[in-house]
Structure 1
Amino acid sequence: MPTEHVMTYLSNTTELNRVQFQIALQSAPLLKGIREACICTIPDKCSEEVINLLEDTGISYRCIYHKREKCTLYLYREELLERHLERADIQEILIVYGYKGLLMEDMIEQLSGRLHRYYMKENDFPHEIGAFLGYPGEDIKGFIENGGKNCILTGYWKVYQNLKRAKEIFEAFDRAKEEVVDELLNGKSIREIACA
């Protein structure tokens, strides 16, 4: 993925294609089916087209925050996310933040409300968001307990335990990003990439 190809593509394309490229960069592991979820903030005026692109891809979406003509989309693969949220270490975290006994959709709704209250300066940032992004439970706990400091690696998230596993995951995510960008530059759409 040579930088000059990317720059040429971005400078000679439509706003929607630039947004597709942004989504490709931010959600490549999700598009490739190796990550449960991600968050992308896009221009409000492009949200309908982006949602249409995701139709029939196996990727669900939810606008979890809206502000100043921007929409924060939470994108997720339902089955992968549900499996992750059911893990004992993740359940332990979610219970602390009041998600006990909720269905996945209700948990996403509650997270959205907590994010909204944070942005309205009504409560602290909902650090349990890591559970909804597929982060390992030990790293979510480590981040909360250490106030985001003292991690052993920073990448797609801050790592506090199991460095080897985190490096392998980060490398797989990087490969997915390269593949998705190459596919996009070669004319594939987000839908085609996500359905492959």
Structure 2
Amino acid sequence: MSEEEVVYYGAPTLAGLKTGNLMSCPYESRQKTMDELRVLNDELVPKGICLYPLRFHKGRVLVYMFRPSFLQRDLSDKRAWEILDAAGYSRCDYSSCMMELIRRLRSCKSSEFFPHEIGLFLSYPPEDVKGFMEDPDGCKCVGTWKVYGDEQAARKMFDSFNKCTDIYCREWKRGTKLSKLAVKI
């Protein structure tokens, strides 16, 4: 997993605009990937960001880059907990919820499977996660996620995520180090 992939797929998390991002990257060796993640974490953990492999499957690794403090905040939201409770999660801290999410991802044979509640781990508004679970085709618009709630606020977020990604990719190509791009919050 390269720094370029981290910047491209995770700029909004690096900038502190989003709780987390998912990255699906090819890998040759599980050990080499784990070593690369250790190096990246050494650089990013001091900035409040972690990279965690959620699943190795058919030559690809699904990596979750996230801000633990943001995830704890997001999962503490009453509406988020209602969704997680209905999905069978135990009421506990974010790391226990992550372990349950990982268990669910790894138990499915299809690489296409994502439990619907995964949106709560990616800064998707609870009303949009719930809307998708109840009526996948009834959304108001589609951007980073399907929107069922506040379309105007979601479009602003989508624009800010896209601008952030453009700026971060441009800066990384100019030679700005990953540690400089990652905002400490």
Q: Find runs of 4+ consecutive structure 1 residues off by over 4 angstroms.
A: none
Structure 1 counterpart of 2:144:
156
Structure 2 counterpart of 1:87:
77
AA at the equivalent of 1:137: P
Q: Where does 1:68-87 land on structure 2 (aligned, <5 Å)?
A: 68-87=58-77
**Could you tell me how far 1:46 is from its partner in structure 2?**
4.2
- Counterpart secondary structure, 2:182: helix
CA distance in 1, matches of 2:69, 2:3: 24
Q: Where does 1:9-88 land on structure 2 (aligned, <5 Å)?
A: 19-44=2-27, 45-55=32-42, 56-88=46-78
CA distance in 2, matches of 1:107, 1:76: 14
CA distance in 1, matches of 2:137, 2:62: 26
Q: Can you list the C-alpha shifts for 1:71-97, whole angstroms capped at 9, x where unaligned?
A: 211111011111011001101101011
Structure 1 counterpart of 2:134:
145
CA spacing shift, 1:47–1:182, aligned 2, 3 Å: farther
| Number of equivalences | 175
> TM-score, structure 1 length as denominator?
0.82
CA RMSD between the two structures: 1.8
Gaps in structure 2 of 5+ consecutive residues: none
> 2:16·2:183 contact (CA, 8 Å) conserved in 1?
no
Q: Which has the larger radius of gyration?
A: 1
> TM-score, structure 2 length as denominator?
0.87
Q: Can you list the C-alpha shifts for 1:63-121, whole angstroms capped at 9, x where unaligned?
A: 11012332211111011111011001101101011113222111101000101122x25
AA at the equivalent of 1:65: R
Structure 2 counterpart of 1:7:
none
CA spacing shift, 1:57–1:69, aligned 2, 3 Å: farther
Gaps in structure 1 of 5+ consecutive residues: 1-15
AA at the equivalent of 1:152: K
CA distance in 2, matches of 1:51, 1:72: 15
Among the aligned pairs, what percent are the same residue? Answer: 29
